[in-house]
Amino acid sequence: MTDWNRMTLAGFQHRLADGELSPLDWWRACRERIDAMDPSLQAWECLAPEPSMAGRDGGQPSNALYGVPVGIKDIIDTARLPTTWGTQGYHHVDGSDMDAAIVTQLTRLGALPMGKTVSTEYAYFQPSRTRNPHDPARTPGGSSSGSAAAVAAGMVPVALGTQTVGSIIRPASYCGVVGFKPSHGTLSVAGVKALAPSLDTLGWFTRHMEDTRTLFTALTGSDPITPLERLEGVRVGLCLVPSTPLPSPDVTAALEGAATRMVELGAHLSPVDLGPTFDDLVTHQKVILAYEAARALASERARFEASMSPALIALLDEGQRLSLSRYWQSRQAADRATLALSQQFAERFDVLLAPSATGVALEGLESTGDPIYSRAWTLLGAPCVNLPLHWTPQGLPVGVQLIADHYQDQRLLSIASALMP
């Protein structure tokens, strides 16, 4: 009996090459699990029909994702599957005009779209119906709610997410999976519903760190990433967060565990206190989000305002009131901070170790949780990865986040691999 939860993308290719498995086996196993679990978890907006492998190239080494089922967050356009953008107003049941660029890239690599995963409304804060696989009374986080939950529940080995505030890292922490946000601009967002383009970043969730390395190499044209086993010579900044909100004791325990392990592996650990800079970056991120969202969603508001949530309307109103000079002030501050952080990285750190969220997943589905600990890194365009390294006695996951300088994605994933071999 195949243990699909332990299967890696590369392992599957080996099993296919050896003739032990067939190209549709993983897809069918995922579909069975979805049929069994999704009535309660509600991670999927829609499901694809069983694909035909006829006419697909198979077995070539370049097809790193051959036969791999993938969940597509429902703010990403698909020509053959409906799209709702997580909204009540928009239901493009016949599929979008075109596939988003990432969908074509994935299918060209052999991946099989499993369906569309539930997103919050326009990938902003209004929660959706998806439940946390580790406790159905809790939120999975958002906005990539369905993608994080689907991967956590073993319904699919890979799912796409996007992050404009904290929409990959936080749900990955709440759901106990690897969540990766590459450097801003690494993957094309053509065909992905824009919220705030200078922040919007496409990334993904996986169960295994190795799979995140495989995806990065396959999708970007990167050289293969060598996983580190030891961390000698690696400089880690333990990032102290602002005192409000204080991270929960669970988060502190997760951070301490990760820090201890990194030191055991040979890393040099030192504290970083961003101080008031952190609060400033949070403010600038909020200004940029509001200004850009009010403009990027102008047509959606004109057509679907009646069904928009009060939270979204408040964001768009706020953005509409902001002056260009206020927006540019925040953009320039972000430019300066990006530069300053780059210098800090060059001189002092390879990666920062920081909380992924303020605590375990919140109870109830009324909120997707506080994205405070992601705002600054998203603003700076830095690559971030959530590592599901800690579980509370109640069995709830608490992730930690590693952050590297812009364009240091490969180094980040190398280092992170030492913690999740």
Q: Which residues bind a second copy (CB under 8 A)?
A: 79, 92, 96-101, 103-105, 108, 185-191, 194, 197-198, 220-223, 292, 295-300, 302-303, 322-325, 327-328, 331-332, 339, 407
- Pairing mode, strands 351-355 and 397-403: antiparallel
Place of tokens 């005192």: 243
Hey, what's the torsion of the CAs at 205, 209, 215, 220, to 10 degrees? 110
Task: Identify which of residues 4 and 407 has a Cβ nearer to a second copy in the complex.
Answer: 407
Q: What CA–CA distance (Å, rounded) separates 115 from 46?
A: 5
User: Count of residues for the chain?
Assistant: 421
- Residues that are catalytic: 73, 143, 167
Site of tokens 């303020």: 358
Tell the residue number behind the tokens 């999975």, with chain if given. 140
Q: How far is the CB of 337 from a second copy (least distance, A)?
A: 13
Structure tokens at 246: 């204080």
| For a second copy, the closer CB: 225 or 258 | 225
Query: Nearest approach, Cβ of 101 to a second copy (angstroms)?
Result: 4
How does 280-300 read in b/e, with b if 16+ C-beta sit within 10 Å? bbbebbbbbbbbbbbebbeeb
Measured CA to CA, the distance from residue 267 to residue 230 in angstroms comes to 8
Closer of 325 and 394 to a second copy (Cβ): 325
Alpha helices in 206-365 (DSSP H): 209-220, 249-264, 276-296, 298-304, 310-321, 324-348
Smallest separation, CB 145 to a second copy (Å): 23
Token digits of residue 382? 């830095």
* CB of residue 96 to a second copy, shortest distance in Å: 7
- Virtual torsion, Cα 258, 259, 264, 269, nearest 10 deg: 150
State in angstroms the smallest separation of the CB of 324 from a second copy. Answer: 4
d(CA 398, CA 30): 25
> Closer CB to a second copy, residue 327 or residue 349?
327
The least CB distance from residue 214 to a second copy, in Å, is: 14
